[in-house]
Amino acid sequence: MKIVLLNGTITGTKTERLLTVVDTYIREAAPDLGIEHIDLKDYDLQFADGRPTEEYNDDMQHLIHSIESADGYIIATPVFQGGIPGVLKNLLDAISPLAMRYKPVSIVATGGTLQHHLVIENQLKPILDYFRCLITPNFVYTHPGHFTDDKQLDNEEVKNRLRELSHVFLKYLEMGRDLSPYKSNLPT
């Protein structure tokens, strides 16, 4: 099985740092699990405009294939201007909704205020629900007070919540695997 840890931004380091912590916890609990890190800043991204996958550049084709072939996802995103980054939404627009059906997704996010956690509830979760993903109930939201001046995660409560998120995600991964034989027979 392969999971993708997706850094849904092309700027900053906090989401990347959160994914590093999650990676550690997942490897501790499931050392044989295949993990692919995708950091969107490492790719030459194109606008998703409905064209067939093979008409995108090599980087976009690689991203689409990596997302569609994964068995589960942990998505890390900042909240900018009261919304998820356009680059993350653009990538999701290029993915076939059928490819993510009944695959688990956990969310970690960071924003500038305590209230920005609502962006996850009001924007990202509805998109993932459209894909019919198995969204874990325990997303982790962080704010500047959880990080040191040099952007290192420095909050034990958040680390504990990331550990719990990792364990719940692995249980959802099992559930998704159990549902996989039925995916081809489900209505669209």
DSSP state of 180: G
Contacts of 22 (CB under 8 A, 6+ apart): 5, 74, 76, 106, 108, 162, 165, 166
Q: CA 98 → CA 24, 128, 133, distances in Å?
A: 30, 11, 10
According to DSSP, the β-strands at 72-78 and 104-110 are parallel
- The interaxial angle of helices 14-29 and 156-179, nearest 10 deg, is 60
pLDDT of residue 117: 85
Model-wide pTM > 0.85: yes
The pLDDT-based confidence of 178 (bands split at 50, 70, 90) is confident
- Per-residue pLDDT tens for 57-68? 999 999 999 999
